[in-house]
Chains A and B, each alone.
Chain A
Amino acid sequence: MKTLNLTVNGQAVSAAVEPRTHLADFLREHEGLTGTHLGCEHGVCGACTVEIDGAPARSCIQFAVRCEGATVRTIEGFEDDAVMRQLRAAFSAEHALQCGYCTPGMLVTARDIVMRLPHLTGAHDEARIRVELAGNLCRCTGYQGIVRAIQRVLRQRAGIDAA
């Protein structure tokens, strides 16, 4: 067991963890944050995507003990986030989720796209948005609603469409 200190959703956390425990298991089993989902546990499907120090990361291929001192934000940590509020409204309006299993990871990635690439507001930017989404698999929606929801928020935030 090793002692781990980090910040999770704004709260300081200190815990004893096995070195082999990955961050997603730590969040789910130790912290009860079950919004972070496991789809493959080998870094392909993106369901476990969380923010580590402000950037999206796959928590299933990150050892928890490597996150000493890090700031981690999971889907449960975005309740007061204005961009996430816009994304959630857009995801619902565009039917961007069905079973909802990929959705927490998808929303964290979507928020990163919106914040990092605010200029992708044109119809021709769809291909780039799809490439940006390549690390998050969805088996239900065929991605169309997800892409449209992200486009909707990008255009709202750029003042092109009404929010």
Chain B
Amino acid sequence: MNQSDVKHIAGSAAPQGVGASVERKEDRRLMSGRGQFVGDLRLAGMWDVAFVRSPVAHGVLKGVEKPAGQEAAVFTMDDMPGVRPIRAVSGLPGFKPSEQWPLARGKVRQVGELVAACIAPTRALAEDIAQAVYADIEELPAVVDMVGARTAPPALVHDEWGDNIFLESLVDGDLSSIADAPIKVRRHIRTARQCMSPLEGRGVVCQWDSRLEQLTMWSSAQMVHINRQGLSECLGLDSGQIRVIAPDVGGGFGYKGILLPEEIVLAYLCMKLGRPLRWIEDRREQLIANANCREHDYDITVYANRDGRLLGIDCEATVDSGAYSSYPFSACLEAAQVGSILPGPYKMERYRCKTWSVASNKAPILPYRGVARTGVCFALELMVDAIAREAGMEPIDVRLANVVRPEEMPYDNITKKHFDSGDYPRVLRMARDAVGLREVRARQKAGEADGRRIGVGFAVYCEQAAHGTSVYFGWGIPMVPGHEQCRARLNADGVLELSIGAHSHGQGMETTMAQVAHQILGIDVARVRLSHGDTGQSPYSTGTWGSRSMVMSGGAVAAACKEMARRVKQIAAKMAGCDTGALKLAGGMVFEGDVPRMSLAEIAHVWHRAPQLLPADIDPAGLEVIAGYKAARDTGTFSYACHAVVVAVDTELGAVEILDYAIAEDGGTLVNPMVVDGQIIGGTAQGIGTALYEEMPFDENGQPLASTLADYMLPGAPEVPAIRIDHIETPSPYTEFGQKGIGEGGAIAPPAAIANAINDALRDMGVEVTESPVTPRRLLAAIAAARKGVAA
């Protein structure tokens, strides 16, 4: 290859490294119907599983009658001797563990709890059998209201506890010095129970390999190594007997970051019967049995000066954790975090927060994009607007008066959260100007021709992401993240194979991890292949959660590629007879000074296929690397944003239309800005669902009342506006490229910003909504209450 060819290769390509909006490598297969999701797998002899689920929320399971002639196709917990219950124990003092049997034993504690598994050659036939199974259940009173569950329990979810409280926690503080603050506002704020709803539900396929004595499980999962660990514990298998693979996964958002009872049942039956089995969750199962999240209740008081300066917060927060502690995040994932993150991005002198993780007869609460932050942001940011109204100030100015300032960075807040970097006032001003606050105020004064009322709302948050060992070990849950690792291999043809234990299910990591490799090695992203989410191939990882992948897996890929670069240069230096210090990598070539000497493929060819050319003292580790990464400080990156929204409210219909939506955001260094914007916009659309549409109501018997997507409302294209994003990039001082985790942020602020906008629109009517989602029913009730002169 001559020099002009090299220049062509190195010079003609569009930028591919950190900061480039590279189109995604994964798109082609997904757009052609060639993606491979778990429901697309076909194994010879595979049968389907349909589950019998509890029709009641709480009851004593007295027996299961199998249909005559079908006994061999129906399995209960008694048919699975030796299988242990799921136990996700937190080490926090006072935590009460629950035992979740994969198939119910003794009691059922939620509608949809697994009672029996039925197998047949097709799902339809398996459902026929399931329909003929009779579960003899003596119904008990259901625990439905989370505050009542702890103050006046109608029943005990777990009889041996004596109450319904998984965990009570307290961040204590003395508020006596601010008791007489000029502004003191108290509110009762609630967020509804929601169902996180990736378009693909869960699904499990498994197969027993009698030669390897190994179970292979394909699961629509975010954290395959954690699933393997949990399966090993519950099934009593050694870890080497289990391989978990996440194929293409149709969205996760936290819903697929747990160990499933269905996985345990399928694994056991697959081994017992020697037959591949499949279970694909349908939408009804997802809604009524599995996908609960977000239900919070706040009794919150804020104290401030007349100039809007926040003095302190006093809060009692209750989270409805549902029937069981799910694995690995446990039942106190949300409530225990509320106490530490409620202060948000604000400075204050005094703080106290008491929280309860309450057990109820509902599906276990699971992590959903934003985990706890969405509820916390809703509570806190509604209170900031309440302070603004009391102080007679613009809400954005109250925020400007209280956020941490750039010259104070890095900053340890009142709950010892370590803000790594940033300019919070700047994003507030950017968001304010993006929606044109002054123009909105003028428009409000002028009034609308159609009689609707205009309002503007803001919400600011910070998103602790990629937090590691020092944050998690204190929780004592079954998973503590340590170093993240990547395996890298440079093949003889110059293709770079990377393997990580995290999983990409929309985040575009097959592209962005290749961009990281390009940044270090100069290799074309088209020559990089990423394997992800396969315990058989990858180093251990806690997986994809907590907006951590670009920081942690990206850092690990960079570490592996740096080591690969060292080894490539070592071989190249020997071949070229020069010093490694004189070599650099670019455009897939090794350069000596400005002179291209050989390609990565030529070097790899020597290692793999012409080792006779290598000197005797070559590093025997060769071109296969496992390298690990941990951020320089593992308390997390803090990305942050301000959302600004303008709404029009129809006070007759209770309808809310979003007229404008702008976001000012700081995610540090952006590896692929197109992908980052996609995450923010997608998260915001989910947040709009939380704000206005999505709710899983329950009746007094604990029956979930939405069982289809016709009554569980997800926002469609007409409900989501075009969203404008402005970025600033303050690099994190602690991460490889300065990147910060941003995957969840979009979903945090919309309920707060939208409710604030609605309250702004209806301010002179005395209307204040304090509960999400703000459905027409709730909004009309708040308007009616204001007209009667009582609080909503």
Q: Which residues of A contact B (CB under 8 A)?
A: 18, 20-21, 28-29, 32-42, 44-45, 47, 74-76, 79, 88, 91-93, 95, 97-104, 107, 126-127, 129-131, 133-147
Contacts and interface: CB of A to CB of B under 8 A. Distances in A.
B677 A134 contact: no
B24 interface: yes
Interface of A is mostly: loop
Nearest to B722: A144
Contacts of A130: 716-718, 720
B248 interface: yes
Give the interface centre of B28, B252, B507, B681 by most chain A CB atoms within 10 Å: B681
A32 B33 CA distance: 11
Interface stretch (B148-156, B258-266, B706-714): B706-714
B677 A37 contact: no
Given A92-B27, A98-B508, A76 B32 contact: yes
A143 B720 contact: yes
Nearest to A145: B678
A98 B199 contact: no
Nearest to B48: A29
B249 A99 contact: yes
B448 interface: no
Contacts of B32: 35, 75-76, 79, 88
A142 B682 contact: yes
Given A20-B124, A97-B31, A41 B718 contact: no
B678 A98 contact: yes
A51 B717 CA distance: 21
Contact of A144 (B199, B675, B681, B686): B681
A34 B40 contact: yes
Contact of B717 (A35, A40, A79, A134): A134
Interface string B190-218: 00000001111000000000000000000
9 contacts: A34-B37, A37-B250, A45-B199, A88-B27, A95-B677, A99-B30, A99-B506, A134-B716, A142-B720
Most buried by A among B250, B674, B710, B714: B250
A98 B507 contact: yes
Contacts of A91: 27, 31
Contacts of B306: none
B682 A140 contact: yes
A38 B283 CA distance: 9
Binding site of B, secondary structure by majority: helix, strand, loop or mixed?
loop
B408 interface: no
B33 A75 contact: yes
A15 B661 CA distance: 51
A47 B199 contact: yes
Nearest to B716: A134
B685 A142 contact: yes
Contacts of A20: 124
A126 B717 CA distance: 10
Contacts of A40: 283, 708-709
Given A42-B709, A75-B31, 19 more contacts: A21-B124, A35-B33, A39-B283, A44-B708, A79-B32, A88-B32, A99-B505, A101-B198, A107-B31, A127-B718, A130-B718, A130-B720, A133-B718, A134-B716, A139-B251, A139-B253, A142-B686, A142-B723, A143-B685
B35 interface: yes
B470 interface: no
B685 to A, nearest CB: 3
Contacts of B714: 137, 139
A136 B722 CA distance: 17
Nearest to B678: A95
B31 A88 contact: yes
Contacts of A147: 717, 722
A93 B507 contact: no
Given A134-B717, A137-B199, A142-B723, A38 B674 contact: no
A21 B617 CA distance: 66
B438 interface: no
B282 interface: yes
A45 B684 CA distance: 19
B8 interface: no
A144 B720 CA distance: 8
A92 B25 CA distance: 9
A140 B200 contact: no
Given A32-B42, A92-B23, A133 B717 contact: yes
A99 B709 contact: no
A94 B138 CA distance: 55
A21 B127 CA distance: 13
A99 B681 contact: no
B172 interface: no
A101 B717 contact: no
A145 B681 CA distance: 9
Interface in B695-749: 708-710, 714, 716-718, 720, 722-723, 746
Top 3 nearest A-B pairs (CB, nearest first) are A35-B33, A100-B30, A101-B250
Given A97-B27, A140-B506, A74 B33 contact: yes
A134 B716 CA distance: 6
B709 A45 contact: yes
A99 B674 CA distance: 15
Contacts of A88: 27-28, 31-32
A75 to B, nearest CB: 4
Contact of A34 (B39, B200, B507, B683): B39
B34 interface: yes
A141 B27 contact: no
B26 interface: yes
Given A41-B282, A139-B253, A142-B685, A104 B717 contact: no
